[in-house]
């Protein structure tokens, strides 16, 4: 069964103290209204900066259904790669998830499909759940290349996996033109791409697996529009940037199934 998930990508925001306060505040809201009592029984994942992970893990560990992941990991497990952080290290401090292929990593750090496949592999080898981000640029949508772009990203970085490993992946469709812009994909645009992704998975791995993979929407999803987006058949939650930094907004999104 696919799970509903709301994940907060904090990006390079918050000091350690601010991050702890944010996680604590969201966890308090969840303690008062447990996820199991919320429609859709969603899971929640925080993706704080690396420096905060250990402390945020301590906070999240106390609340059922709340997990902590990293925003990135390196494509190999150890060695002379100054400044990088491995999936093995993330696992050792209690992270359970890792974002792979966020558009900001693709754009600013030139991460390509091959490097992302290696990162997915590192995540799986270390029992971390990769949350794989895909999505097209505005000119690609305008030229009606969006389906093809997303297909290539998924085929090249994920479809090398066998069934047993692929089942562990979460996919986030994040049209780049909607990230941090305030311009959200319409529920129809989100649904048609999510359905396309699920069909791709069906063709490669079969219906049972296709129906078990959570596909999240990301791109200016907020407390006002989450309900309409999450209502779509193939939208299993959201990867939230800006709106994950305000506990009341993020909690309202959690309550939008």
**Active-site hit among 43, 104, 140, 174:** 174
DSSP of 71-98: S---SSSSSS-TT---HHHHHHTT--EE
Among this protein's residues, is 102 annotated catalytic? yes
Instruction: Please check whether residue 13 is in contact with residue 245, taking contact to mean a CB–CB distance below 8 angstroms.
Output: yes
Paired residues of 10 in beta bridges? none
The whole-angstrom distance between residue 96's C-alpha and the CA centroid of its chain comes to: 12
Residues contributing to the site for ligand PEP (CB under 6 A): 9, 11, 174, 179-180, 218-221, 239-243
Shortest spacing between CB 163 and ligand PEP, in angstroms: 28
Shortest spacing between CB 49 and ligand PEP, in angstroms: 13
Among this protein's residues, is 97 annotated catalytic? no
**Active-site hit among 102, 104, 111, 140:** 102
The three-state secondary structure class of 31 is helix
End-to-end CA distance of the chain: 16
Paired residues of 173 in beta bridges? 134, 217
| Smaller CB separation from ligand PEP, 173 or 257 | 173
CA–CA distance, 181 with 21 (Å, rounded to integer) = 26
Shortest spacing between CB 237 and ligand PEP, in angstroms: 12
| Smaller CB separation from ligand PEP, 205 or 217 | 217
Shortest spacing between CB 202 and ligand PEP, in angstroms: 26
Structure tokens at 26: 């969201």
| Smaller CB separation from ligand PEP, 9 or 191 | 9
Establish how many alpha carbons lie within 13 A of residue 182's alpha carbon, considering only the half-sphere containing its beta carbon. 0
Instruction: Please check whether residue 209 is in contact with residue 166, taking contact to mean a CB–CB distance below 8 angstroms.
Output: yes
| Smaller CB separation from ligand PEP, 9 or 256 | 9
Positions marked catalytic: 102, 174
């Amino acid at each position: 069964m696919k799970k509903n998930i709301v994940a907060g990508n904090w990006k390079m925001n918050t000091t350690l103290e601010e991050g702890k306060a944010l996680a604590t505040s969201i966890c308090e809201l969840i303690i008062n209204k447990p996820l199991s009592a919320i429609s859709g029984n969603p899971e929640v994942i925080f993706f704080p900066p690396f420096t905060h992970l250990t402390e945020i893990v301590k906070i999240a560990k106390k609340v059922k259904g709340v997990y902590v992941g990293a925003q990135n990991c390196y494509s190999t497990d150890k060695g002379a790669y100054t400044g990088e952080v491995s999936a093995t290290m993330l696992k050792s401090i209690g992270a359970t998830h890792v974002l792979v292929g966020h558009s900001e990593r693709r754009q600013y750090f030139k991460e390509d499909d091959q490097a992302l496949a290696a990162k997915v592999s590192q995540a799986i080898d270390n029992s971390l759940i990769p949350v794989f981000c895909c999505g097209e640029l505005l000119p690609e949508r305008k030229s009606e290349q969006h389906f093809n772009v997303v297909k290539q990203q998924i085929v090249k970085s994920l479809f090398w996996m066998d069934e047993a490993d692929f089942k562990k992946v979460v996919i986030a469709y994040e049209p780049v033109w909607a990230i941090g812009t305030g311009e959200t994909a319409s529920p129809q645009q989100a649904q048609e791409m999510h359905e396309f992704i699920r069909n791709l998975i069906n063709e490669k791995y079969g219906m049972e697996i296709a129906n078990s993979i959570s596909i999240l929407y990301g791109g200016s999803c907020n407390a006002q529009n989450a309900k309409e987006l999450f209502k779509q058949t193939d939208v299993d939650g959201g990867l939230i940037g800006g709106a994950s930094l305000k506990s009341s907004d993020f909690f309202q999104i959690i309550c939008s199934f």
